[in-house]
Structure 1
Amino acid sequence: MATEHDILLQFWQEQRDQARQSENQRAAMTNIVLVVAAAGIGFVVRQGLGDRSNLPVTAGLMLLGLYGALASAKYRERFAMHMHEAKLMRRRLDALYPALGLEADRQAARDGHQRQHRLLYQVRLHQLWTSLHLGIALMGAALAVASIV
């Protein structure tokens, strides 16, 4: 028969796996967006920037970038949900086995990491991913303007 800690560990692992899956899906989606965006940008540049026939492609780039930003933000939300659930289970395990010092060790590791990487620690990875997609949307807008002018 499974013990309480076995059950908690199982649920903790499941939440961590779900969080990892969200990140993997975000990475796959981002790769697809980057490949399609690169093809679109290459097409527009090859056609020539002053060509109004590029407008459907530039509009597609804008929509693709906006979609990527929204999807990236959604994957982040799912990741955060699973990590929050895992954190609650980790705290329960810490309460069951206080002698292990799980939370104290985790916090000490985080504090050390934050001291070692003061500037980068402030940058949130999900913001970089969302910004990348918004940059694609902006590139589409800039190319649209260049195609009109």
Structure 2
Amino acid sequence: MADDTDVLLELWKGHRDEARQMENQRATLTHVVILVAAAGLGFLAQDGALGTSSLVVTVPMFVLGAFGAVAGTKYGERWAVHSGLPDRLRHEVGLRRPGLNLSGLIEDNHVEHRAEFPRISRVRIWVLRVGIHGGIAAGGFALSLWALVRGR
């Protein structure tokens, strides 16, 4: 029969797998949004001039970027659920097995990492993720406004 630590480790593995799945789904969504936006921009560039007919491309670009920002934020929230519990489980394993010094190893790693990357370690990855989708949405919105103003 498994001891309590084995049960905690199995729970840890399951939630880490779920967190990875959320990250993979978020990455796939981001790739699709970027590819579709790039194709739309390529189509607009090939057409040469923005007009009301360009709204067929620019409005969906705005909607897709906005959807990507919201969905990416939701994937981030789900990732936090599935990565927060493993952190607690790891802490519990460390309490049950003090000889492993898990807390000390993890803290030492964080200190070394922050020392090696002092500026970039403060940047939150979700800001970059949502920012790329927000940029696509803003680009689609701006191009839509430009197309409406230019008319034709």
- Residue type matched to 1:47 in 2? D
Q: TM-score, normalised by structure 1?
A: 0.96
- Structure 2 counterpart SS, 1:93: helix
- Structure 1 counterpart SS, 2:2: coil
Gaps of 5+ in 2: none
Cα distance in 2 between the residues matched to 1:50 and 1:34: 21
- The alpha-carbon deviation at position 89 of structure 1 amounts to 0.4
The answer as to whether partners of 2:15 and 2:86 remain within 8 angstroms in 1 is yes
Q: How does 1:41-60 map to 2 (within 5 A)?
A: 41-60=41-60
Is 1:110 matched up with 2:110? yes
- The alpha-carbon deviation at position 80 of structure 1 amounts to 0.7
Q: How does 1:103-142 map to 2 (within 5 A)?
A: 103-142=103-142
2:75 matched residue in structure 1:
75
- Structure 2 counterpart SS, 1:118: coil
Gaps of 5+ in 1: none
Question: Cα RMSD (Å) of the superposition?
Answer: 1.0
- Structure 2 counterpart SS, 1:111: helix
1:37 matched residue in structure 2:
37
The answer as to whether partners of 2:62 and 2:139 remain within 8 angstroms in 1 is yes
- The alpha-carbon deviation at position 84 of structure 1 amounts to 0.7
2:26 matched residue in structure 1:
26
Q: TM-score, normalised by structure 2?
A: 0.94
* Moved >4 Å (runs of 4+): none
- The alpha-carbon deviation at position 57 of structure 1 amounts to 1.5
- The alpha-carbon deviation at position 2 of structure 1 amounts to 1.2
Cα distance in 2 between the residues matched to 1:68 and 1:48: 27
- The alpha-carbon deviation at position 56 of structure 1 amounts to 2.5
The answer as to whether partners of 1:19 and 1:82 remain within 8 angstroms in 2 is yes
- The alpha-carbon deviation at position 51 of structure 1 amounts to 1.7
- The alpha-carbon deviation at position 43 of structure 1 amounts to 1.4
1:65 matched residue in structure 2:
65
The answer as to whether partners of 1:49 and 1:143 remain within 8 angstroms in 2 is no
Q: How does 1:74-93 map to 2 (within 5 A)?
A: 74-93=74-93
Cα distance in 2 between the residues matched to 1:74 and 1:48: 37
Cα distance in 1 between the residues matched to 2:51 and 2:82: 47
- Residue type matched to 2:138 in 1? L
The answer as to whether partners of 2:91 and 2:103 remain within 8 angstroms in 1 is yes
Q: How many residues align?
A: 149
